[in-house]
A and B are shown apart, each in its own frame.
Chain A
Amino acid sequence: MVRLITHNLLACHAKGCTSNNFPLKLQDVAIEVREAEFNPDFVRGFLPRLEWKALVQAARELGDTSLPEEMPEMVDDGFLKNLHHVLLEIHIDEGAMICPNCGHTYPISNGIPNMLLAEHEIG
């Protein structure tokens, strides 16, 4: 399963693709929501690692509008719960992730993205 926590960390790794290769664009995705245990410490600790704009954009594309445009300065429990849901409870089952730079398509099937590159794409 791919969740947005992982999507937010993933750039294209094809040969020579080193700029404008993040975030991978989500296409034709089917999602499934599954409850996960809320750990506020984990979510809070993860904040500095996130590319906020990319996360908000991806969440909205998946129909979740609970996150504010800008990362809030005051982090309360309500916000952390929304963030927990976006990061860890929305699973992408089917679809594809497409590199905005080189156009490489990483298909997602049965919850598993195929990150394999062709021989000529290996750096």
Chain B
Amino acid sequence: MSRPELVAPPEIYYGDIEAKKYTNNTRVQQIQADMTYRALELLNLPPDDPAFLLDIGCGSGLSGEILDQEGYTWVGCDIAPSMLEVALEREVEGDLFLQDIGQGFGFRPGSFDGAISISVLQWLLNAETSHPTSSPPHRLNRFFTTLHSALRNPSRAVLQFYPTSDDQIQLITSTAQKAGFGGGVIVDYPNSKKARKVFLCLFVGGGGAQQVPQ
């Protein structure tokens, strides 16, 4: 089976039918939920602090529902209108935006206490047009620069993604560092082909006082 990000851009791949299929698949739901909880753990927010979070590539709200349950106020953005439609139908609490993260964000400096992103960054590695500003390095650079500015100091962003090579991890990590982030990559279940999960754990400032949990 081909990886979806190699088949078509996300807003095309996730049309009405794919969006519903994806959202109603219990295996997808379980994996997304597990990764959302893990991302929140890595975000390492102060306990009982009612934080304001950004969900990057929120899709149909599978992660947003967990943010609701955990008592967070959040804003979600996604490039696939069909996914956002499903999120509306599911009545998640967050504000939803139709946005291409490769074009960058317009949020004022220090808007968010943290950001999570589940299974999204790999989409940025595929250029959609031949236009020079649409190359993956340009899109990654705009994304990380404007994300860094949108986050409070100190805070963290935790982004789970599916890289196909170490070069991709290298490109993503170095672009994030150039944008001002500290931190790095954490790999869960590194020896399992199926369960292996890559989390980019980024810090603004010190990223909070504590060390990255293992």
Indicate whether A and B interact: yes
Q: Which residues of A contact B (CB under 8 A)?
A: 1-3, 5-6, 9-13, 21-22, 36, 39, 41-42, 45-46, 49, 51, 88, 110-117, 119, 122-123
Q: Which residues of B contact A (CB under 8 A)?
A: 49-50, 52, 71, 73, 75, 77, 79, 81, 84-85, 88, 93, 95-100, 103-108, 110-111, 129, 131, 133-134, 142, 146
Contact of A115 among B93, B99, B108, B142 (CB under 8 A): B99
Query: Known contacts A5-B73, A36-B93; is A111 also within 8 Å of B52 by CB?
Result: no
Q: Do residues B97 and A115 form an inter-chain contact, with CB atoms below 8 A? A: yes
- Chain B residues lying within 8 Å of A116, measured Cβ to Cβ, are 79, 98-100, 103
- Chain B residues lying within 8 Å of A114, measured Cβ to Cβ, are 98
Query: Known contacts A111-B88, A111-B96, A115-B77; is A123 also within 8 Å of B142 by CB?
Result: yes
- Chain B residues lying within 8 Å of A49, measured Cβ to Cβ, are 52, 110-111
- Chain A residues lying within 8 Å of B146, measured Cβ to Cβ, are 13
Q: How far is the CA of A10 from the CA of B50 in the complex (A)?
A: 21
Please give me the 4 A-B residue pairs with the lowest Cβ-Cβ distance, nearest first. A13-B106, A42-B50, A115-B99, A9-B111
Q: Do residues B50 and A115 form an inter-chain contact, with CB atoms below 8 A? A: no
Q: Do residues A39 and B111 form an inter-chain contact, with CB atoms below 8 A? A: no
A6-B75, A9-B111 given. 14 additional CB < 8 A pairs? A3-B95, A13-B104, A13-B146, A39-B50, A39-B71, A49-B110, A110-B85, A110-B88, A111-B88, A112-B98, A115-B77, A115-B100, A123-B104, A123-B142
